[in-house]
Structure 1
Amino acid sequence: MRKEIVGALLDPKQYNKNHRPLNRWTGQAASNNSRNHQNMDFTVNIYLRMIWEDARLAYSASNPNASVSLHSMKDKIWMPDIFFRNAKQVENHADPVPNILVKLRPTGRIYFSQLCSYEP
């Protein structure tokens, strides 16, 4: 069932990931720091979490709390452009696999979570 839903929603004739959805989005981050006193540097490890709605991805489901995992197809949906201002280095954790969670709800609401590190 997941393949049918995702295949129909992400059909290139119907969905263009380059067009931004009209709805607003929100984000938050939880952090953990490590310091290098000798170099006066520090690294911040964060869970970057974002929520947005893309009405083009809405689908019907008998359970309104159902969700479909899209982490393997995240390159096929619109994603907010995120950057860390004045960061020396940003690293997305991918050992042994990418540390990303992408869930789609029937309303078109997308939940995104990723672990990353950066040096400001």
Structure 2
Amino acid sequence: MAQEYSVQLTFREQWTDERLKFDDIQGRLKYLTLTEANRVWMPDLFFSNEKEGHFHNIIMPNVYIRIFPNGSVLYSIRISLTLACPMNLKLYPLDRQICSLRMASYGWTTNDLVFLWKEGDPVQVVKNLHLPRFTLEKFLTDYCNSKTNTGEYSCLKVDLLFKREFSYYLIQIYIPCCMLVIVSWVSFWLDQGAVPARVSLGVTTLLTMATQTSGINASLPPVSYTKAIDVWTGVCLTFVFGALLEFALVNYASRSGSNKASN
């Protein structure tokens, strides 16, 4: 788990440049279309939490610019991004995560450039969105202006609230752990003299449980706090170890009793 998420989006922004006003020929010309972004002035927007990104150029570059008679410019482009998403895994896998998409001005301060969300419905999510391990519960738009020693910079953000799907972990982790604990209890019904059988069963379940725990942690980033899954696997490992320890105590008590009886 790299604490990141990938998104493919159609990004649109609109501004007014009075230098681009033109005659609409009595309403017959609704707008002009450009495919080269460097032909007009554009805001220097960037994604501040981006780790990797690329444009789409099949079959043609997925970008266009519309210039309206009043000088209004609409810029639209399709991009794919990999964005950083710091996660709190204390309740993993029963957790909810908030991942942000941040868009800010790189060089222009708020004295020259201010980003504003469009009124109404500024962010749209496809209705058939399907995520294998998460459910998108809701999203919120907000502002995240930042101040540095060079000035204040305008910033927009979208907070995405994800809920982790529990069914996958129930089948892959919780049920197998329960089964291992129950199998370790089988040694309670074996004869106390069946030493090889009880030792083999106890050691096998203990090693399997340790391997399961190691596999779970291998897919997660190393963190300094205890996760909910750590508590679960720790309790299961304790039960399995307790079953093996029970055999050692019973065997010791049996031998001690036999020695006293023979004396």
- The TM-score with structure 1 as length reference comes to 0.61
Structure 1 counterpart of 2:27: 63
Superposition RMSD on alpha carbons, in Å? 1.7
Structure 1 counterpart of 2:51: 88
Structure 1 counterpart of 2:232: none
Question: Partners of 2:13 and 2:3 in 1: how far apart?
Answer: 31
Q: How far off is 1:101 after superposition?
A: 1.7
Q: Which has the larger radius of gyration?
A: 2
Question: Partners of 2:14 and 2:64 in 1: how far apart?
Answer: 12
Residue type of the alignment partner of 1:67: Y
- Listed as ranges, the matches of 1:22-101 within 5 Å are 39-61=2-24, 62-63=26-27, 66-71=30-35, 73-101=36-64
Q: How far off is 1:74 after superposition?
A: 2.2
Structure (1/2) with the larger strand percentage: 1
Candidates 70, 74, 77, aligned match of 1:111: 74
Unaligned runs of 5+ in 1: 1-37
Q: How far off is 1:91 after superposition?
A: 1.0
Q: How far off is 1:42 after superposition?
A: 2.1
Number of equivalenced pairs = 82
Higher relative contact order (CA 8 A, sep 6+): 1
Structure 1 counterpart of 2:121: none
Q: Secondary structure, in 3 states, of the residue corresponding to 1:88?
A: strand
- The TM-score with structure 2 as length reference comes to 0.29
C-alpha deviations, 1:59-85, integer Å up to 9, x for none? 1111177101112x3211101112111
Question: Partners of 1:46 and 1:68 in 2: how far apart?
Answer: 24
Q: Secondary structure, in 3 states, of the residue corresponding to 1:75?
A: helix
Partners of 1:64 and 1:106 within 8 A in 2 = no
Residue type of the alignment partner of 1:50: E
Structure 2 counterpart of 1:13: none
